[in-house]
Amino acid sequence: MSGPRRAEVLAALSLAIDIGLGQPMEHMLRSALIATRLADRLGLDDTQRGTAFYANLVAWIGCHADSHELSRLFGDDIAFRADSYQVNWQGLPFLRLLATHVGQGEGPLDRGLKAAAFFVNAKGRLSDLIHSHCASASRLADRLGLGDPVRDALVFTFERYDGSGLPSGRAGDDIPIEMRVVHLAEVAEVFLRQDGTDAAVSMAKARSGSHFDPTVVEAFESTDLQGLLDDDVWTAALRQAPDSDRTLNEQELDDLLIAIGDFADLKCPFTIGHSRGVAELAAEAARGCGLSESDIRLVRRAALVHDLGRMGVPNTLWEKPGPLSEAEWERVRLHPYLTGRILRRVPGLEQVATIAAAHHERLDGSGYPLGAAGAALAPLSRLLGAADTYHALTEVRPHRGPHSPDKAAEILRCQARESRLDAQAVEAVLRAAGHPVRQRRAFPAGLTGREVEVLRLVAAGRSNRDIACCPSARRPSATTWSTSTPRSASPTAPVPASSRWNTASPAPSRPSSRRRWGERPMRPAPGTGEARSRRKPAGGAAPRRSSFGYRKEPSP
């Protein structure tokens, strides 16, 4: 069976770039369509046209490499990038943009000091950021197999026709014609989408000779832009790709997903290498469970790209050392949903998308974004959730230092006892990470722990009502990993043919406010039930917390 087309996978990557720019998905795809129409209008050859298409599609691929530095200067890195489209990067409007964002989110004194320090050497600071962007973009273009013309063109992403751009101040015809086309097409898409053709043409004419090549602007004025807002942009753009029919073999797809995972990890300094590490851990755990090679490959691929949706959340939240507000937490909870939405656009990656999007779901329904529970979580989703949790616990985060491997193992096992993570998935991950495995005696006739507990209660003469109310009988059961045909399957999470599990009925799919393991607590809104529950009880004893951060009732 043939794999996904390369153009489709790169188009999906462009959707992740879009949300990191504060633009709706398909911004880059639509601007790539504009670029190809401009290239035709200017009479560029096929090679130049193809270079313009892909250079436009991934022009901002390096932007996330400087998200950390950008957020330290301007606060919300995504909001800053979105606002930057509205001004020509020169003169008073550009200075006003910088002044509006510099030090955002800090107190008046700190913001004033940061603004003063920034404007003393504003050009130098911006030049450093842009140099980092261009270097990262070139390296990633190489790894994506886009070729020398695209890689070389991306160096000119922030240059301007009048020579006032960065990092090298190249001007006029020294800038490749493909990038002069991209400069106009990418900005024009924003104005076309927001305010129509006349606004896009007016913007291009206003920036002619400064930002844009006047020849390209003249061609843009006579370019047909009809249908760009109404057509199926995904399909129309893929038809224009120079290699639209090229499909990927297994190794090529793996290499491309590794590069995309590394791209996602550039978002924060402390996540570099995270996706690769989770992928290797999840794959080894799946291998230890005796799963098929196809399932091992599937969970590894899902792990490589599971955090692609992080691009849509600003670094001010990822790097916040204190508790998140309710609104902030809601934005963070969106990132697995964004991952799934991006990957599902690629035919052939549907299962990868389903598994990747569920890496923060939990057996008891306390996960996110859907609050899926029990049978709604397929075995590979459970494995990925355990692997991601373990690996994240051993990494540094802004609100804590890294946990030791033993501490991380203790947390995972405690979470399994609380029926958040699948117990057998946890043990498989810990075995893959080199921890001693706790062997559990198998029950006869393939019975699960829950079924055995119910039988014990029946034998003890308990009524059906008592059994239903017993927590040990109600909690979701662990997965039974084998190579037999699955007993049940969820329509929302396809079950690999090599796996089987028994589980309780799923809880309603709903978001939960319960605290997640290894994550910061959400600051309760004033007057809410959770805020009230944290008050000192009437008996005088303060609520006691476990070593893992759970709030517990006062000791007797």
Query: Is position 556 within any domain?
Result: no
Residue type, 35: A
Q: How confident is the model at residue 531 (pLDDT cuts 50, 70, 90)?
A: very low
pLDDT at 65 over 90: no
Output the furthest CA–CA distance in the chain (Å, rounded).
Answer: 89
Please count the structural domains in the chain.
3
Average pLDDT over residues 341-361: 97
Average pLDDT over residues 281-289: 97
Which is more confidently placed, 449 or 524? 449
Predicted TM-score of the model (pTM): 0.81
Query: Is position 552 within any domain?
Result: no
CATH of the domain at 395: 1.10.3210.10
Beta strands in 440-547 (DSSP E): 544-545
3-state secondary structure 14-28: HHHHHHHCCCCCCHH
Nearest-angstrom CA–CA distance, 382 and 238? 34
Task: Say what the pLDDT of residue 125 is.
Answer: 83
Average pLDDT over residues 245-267: 95
Q: Check whether residue 320 and residue 214 sit in a common domain.
A: no
Question: What is the percent of the chain with per-residue pLDDT over 90, rounded to a whole number?
Answer: 66
Average pLDDT over residues 391-404: 96
List the domain range (segments joined by +) for residue 282: 250-433
Question: What is the percent of the chain with per-residue pLDDT over 70, rounded to a whole number?
Answer: 82
Q: How confident is the model at residue 472 (pLDDT cuts 50, 70, 90)?
A: low
Q: Check whether residue 267 and residue 337 sit in a common domain.
A: yes
Query: Is position 282 within any domain?
Result: yes
Task: Say what the pLDDT of residue 499 is.
Answer: 38
Which is more confidently placed, 242 or 495? 242
Answer whether 97's CB lies under 8 Å from 113's CB.
no
Q: Check whether residue 423 and residue 466 sit in a common domain.
A: no
Cβ-in-10-Å burial (0-12, 13-18, 19+) of 259 comes to buried
Q: Check whether residue 416 and residue 448 sit in a common domain.
A: no
Q: Check whether residue 280 and residue 409 sit in a common domain.
A: yes
pLDDT at 538 over 60: no
Nearest-angstrom CA–CA distance, 50 and 262? 25
Alpha helices, H only, 144-247:
148-154, 177-195, 197-206, 214-221, 233-240
Task: Say what the pLDDT of residue 3 is.
Answer: 83
Q: Check whether residue 341 and residue 203 sit in a common domain.
A: no
Query: Is position 15 within any domain?
Result: yes
Quick: pLDDT tens for 98-137.
999 998 888 888 888 888 888 888 888 888 888 888 888 9
Query: Is position 522 within any domain?
Result: no
Contacts 24+ apart (CB under 8 A), 483-491: 483/290, 483/291, 483/292, 488/375, 489/378, 490/375, 490/376, 490/377, 490/378
Cβ-in-10-Å burial (0-12, 13-18, 19+) of 101 comes to buried
Which is more confidently placed, 192 or 110? 192
Residue ending a domain, choose from 240, 271, 288: 240
Q: Check whether residue 186 and residue 266 sit in a common domain.
A: no
Q: Check whether residue 221 and residue 148 sit in a common domain.
A: yes
Query: Is position 489 within any domain?
Result: no
Task: Say what the pLDDT of residue 64 is.
Answer: 81
pLDDT at 503 over 60: no
**CA triplet 43, 44, 50: central angle to 5 degrees?**
140
Query: Is position 135 within any domain?
Result: yes
Query: Is position 61 within any domain?
Result: yes
Q: Check whether residue 215 and residue 255 sit in a common domain.
A: no
Structure tokens at 411: 């947390």
Q: Check whether residue 168 and residue 302 sit in a common domain.
A: no
Q: Check whether residue 182 and residue 276 sit in a common domain.
A: no
Which is more confidently placed, 518 or 85? 85
Average pLDDT over residues 365-377: 94
Task: Say what the pLDDT of residue 80 is.
Answer: 95
Q: Check whether residue 360 and residue 271 sit in a common domain.
A: yes
What is the pLDDT of the chain when averaged over all its residues?
84
Q: How confident is the model at residue 364 (pLDDT cuts 50, 70, 90)?
A: very high
Task: Say what the pLDDT of residue 501 is.
Answer: 41
pLDDT at 459 over 90: no
Q: How confident is the model at residue 464 (pLDDT cuts 50, 70, 90)?
A: confident
